[in-house]
Structure 1
Amino acid sequence: MSPTSEGRTSLQPRRVLLTVHTGRRDIVALARSSAARLQESGIVVRLLDDEAKELDITGAEVVPADAEAARDTEIVMVFGGDGTFLRAAELARFTDAALMGVNLGRVGFLAETEPEAVEETLQAIERCEYSVEERLAIEVDVVDVDGTVVGGTWALNEVSIEKAERSRVLDVVILIDGRPLTSFGCDGVLCATPTGSTAYAFSAGGPVVWPDVEALLLVPTNAHALFARPLVTSPNSVLTVSVPADGNRARVSADGRRMVSVPDGGRVDVRKASRPVRIARVHASTFGDRLVAKFGLPVRGFRDARHAGPGHELTTSRNVFDREVVDGNGDVVAGGEAAGGGTRDDG
């Protein structure tokens, strides 16, 4: 999908909202230089009021960090790791703005650009030479024992229905489309999107799903059961996790950012959200390429990593911890100490 100008006329200036992990000086410096470049090209730079002082960018608009922050902006440009990206997704949730991330964390599956390619990314924004992907998001209803919806939230990656008391097992009943499937004790249950399949669900043993696949994932965590396999369902399914009234108390965590308590005897219904999340893409690399680069996957055969066999055309791979680039002979050809390493919940 190509970028659009919905809600914006030729008389209105183009706007880019910056969201920045301001806890690191190298990230702040990169955001400042990027803002200057955008302003030189006539694009209005917008900042969040809780970041503006640290960024100190002359001539920038400053807005509250609320649901209106990304209104009338074309791009929300994210400088940080996946935690910063997920915060930006909240800001852009009910607008037409597309998210474009510069990965300054450790792995950064959500971000489009590595720091060394920022120049190319800025040029693409200036020239409107980017595409926009629409990613499936999920909506959550928390329902009490009487069937009344008492809370709700949404997620781009996953929602975790987890035990509130660490010392006790959480008993759950799993239903798909209103029909009971199985029950077990566990630490929790993850309901994830394809985008979130490389996040918490991946760590819990779930499958990697290409982000353009329309599906919902259900992944138990530390289940006490013989049948507790990860499930992949239709995007039109409703995933339900029901918690018995006499069991451990539960809560919902959405993208590790938003918490909702589950009442005793209540349930959590998860379904595809009516509104997707828009992510801007500049580079031509595929999701498979990103898997190889982020995880340093061996693509030359396990018997001889130096053998010029299948996969040899992928001549470089990244070490996600220090950003070293390794050539086909296993020699380090580039690196970057300054890139540092954030975590999933940086910023």
Structure 2
Amino acid sequence: MTRRVLIVTHGGRPEAVAAMSEAVEELERAGFEVALHDDDLAESFGDQMSAARLSEGVAESEVVMVLGGDGTILRAAELTHGSRVPLLGVNLGHVGFLAESERENLHDAVRRVAARDYVVEERCVVDVVVERPGESEPVTGWALNEATVEKASRERVMEVGIGVDGRPLSSFGCDGVVVSTATGSTAHAFSAGGPVMWPDVDAVLLVPLAAHALFARPLVIGPGSSYTVKILDRSPVPGVLACDGRRTIELPVGSRVHVRRGAVPLRFARLAHAPFTDRLVSKFNLPVIGWREAAADGARRPARARGEAATDHHEKEA
């Protein structure tokens, strides 16, 4: 039986093209049939990728290998969403938080895939339903990282109402609202001051953006609950919804955006067994040794040096 890998990369970057050529050579040498995908399939909102999956052969692929940064991985997620095919990211970007391997480890990644030496990890997504005034049918979508409701015009703040499980909670003026998965808690929500959630936390996070309110704190709800973000009738500006920063839809005043944990998770192929804590330290270059400890150690080193010098001096005199 032929084993198949689909490669997704950024065709406009020379380093990505070079990595793709190397990956194709390595995979074919390992006995794989390799397909390439280099189209941006995020032109419309929502998951309309069924025909593309069939034409690209995603469903028949063992793994979708992504050569690029987090943006390329989010693009590849549009292909695999709704399937059981895992993504394997090889980082060619800056942070590469979603990636599993680095560029210099590409050969080892291919070897591990060939040996089926990896585990599959499931990451929750959020499902999105948008109700717009004057439209009888809602628009649906999804996001791996976050669904962000932002003001469509920079001149004024947007007035929103926040609800949980169909009950009103708070309203305020703001630049926007980020509704994030645990995976996306280290992305846009993190930049907005939200908490970092470990990937196995089954919850959905909401973080207001520059809210003009006394009570506009980050919120975390469980897997059975849902958020509603309404563009209030008094809002001077409409909004826009962006899913993973890629798929957008306009939100006229009066629109409602409902967000809850998705029923079908996305799957990632994992090569390393390092805990998420180590990934945080590595990707964000966190100072595990604090400045106080470093300063104290720096003060001890000259003292030790002086002591050693004095000992050497006494030994020479003796």
Question: TM > 0.5 between the two?
Answer: yes
Match of 1:341 in 2: none
**C-alpha contact (below 8 Å) 1:82/1:105 kept by paired residues:** yes
Match of 2:286 in 1: 297
Match of 1:197 in 2: 185
Asked whether 1:136 is paired with 2:114, we answer no
Alpha-carbon distance in structure 2 between the residues aligned to 1:223 and 1:49: 39
Aligned equivalent of 2:276, options 247, 267, 287: 287
Distance 1:65 1:146, change over 3 A: closer
Alpha-carbon distance in structure 1 between the residues aligned to 2:97 and 2:234: 39
Match of 1:167 in 2: 155
Distance 1:24 1:306, change over 3 A: farther
| Cα offset, 1:163, TM superposition | 0.8
More displaced 10-residue stretch of structure 1: 115-124 or 288-297 = 115-124
Match of 2:52 in 1: 66
Distance 1:307 1:279, change over 3 A: farther
Aligned equivalent of 1:216, options 199, 204, 219: 204
Alpha-carbon distance in structure 2 between the residues aligned to 1:175 and 1:146: 22
Alpha-carbon distance in structure 2 between the residues aligned to 1:49 and 1:299: 40
| Cα offset, 1:147, TM superposition | 8.6
**C-alpha contact (below 8 Å) 2:190/2:196 kept by paired residues:** yes
Match of 1:320 in 2: none
| Cα offset, 1:272, TM superposition | 1.0
**C-alpha contact (below 8 Å) 1:142/1:149 kept by paired residues:** no
| Cα offset, 1:297, TM superposition | 0.6
Q: Which amino acid aligns with 1:103?
A: N
Which runs of structure 2 are paired with 1:11-160 in the superposition (5 Å)? Answer: 11=1, 13-48=2-37, 50=39, 66-68=52-54, 69=56, 70-145=58-133, 148-160=136-148
Distance 1:305 1:24, change over 3 A: farther
Gaps of at least 5 residues in structure 2 are 41-49, 298-318
Which runs of structure 2 are paired with 1:224-303 in the superposition (5 Å)? Answer: 224-247=212-235, 248-303=237-292
The CA RMSD measured in Å over matched residues stands at 1.9
**C-alpha contact (below 8 Å) 2:61/2:85 kept by paired residues:** yes
**C-alpha contact (below 8 Å) 1:175/1:182 kept by paired residues:** yes
| Cα offset, 1:23, TM superposition | 1.9
**C-alpha contact (below 8 Å) 2:91/2:99 kept by paired residues:** yes
1:240-260, CA deviations, whole angstroms, 9 ceiling, x for partnerless residues? 001122312111100011011
- Give TM-score scaled by structure 2 length: 0.85
More displaced 10-residue stretch of structure 1: 167-176 or 21-30 = 21-30
Alpha-carbon distance in structure 2 between the residues aligned to 1:92 and 1:304: 46
Number of aligned positions between the proteins: 285
1:268-318, CA deviations, whole angstroms, 9 ceiling, x for partnerless residues? 00011111000110012211111101111111233233889xxxxxxxxxx
Distance 1:293 1:65, change over 3 A: farther
**C-alpha contact (below 8 Å) 2:226/2:258 kept by paired residues:** yes
**C-alpha contact (below 8 Å) 1:79/1:104 kept by paired residues:** yes
Q: Secondary structure at the match of 2:292?
A: coil
Alpha-carbon distance in structure 2 between the residues aligned to 1:97 and 1:29: 25
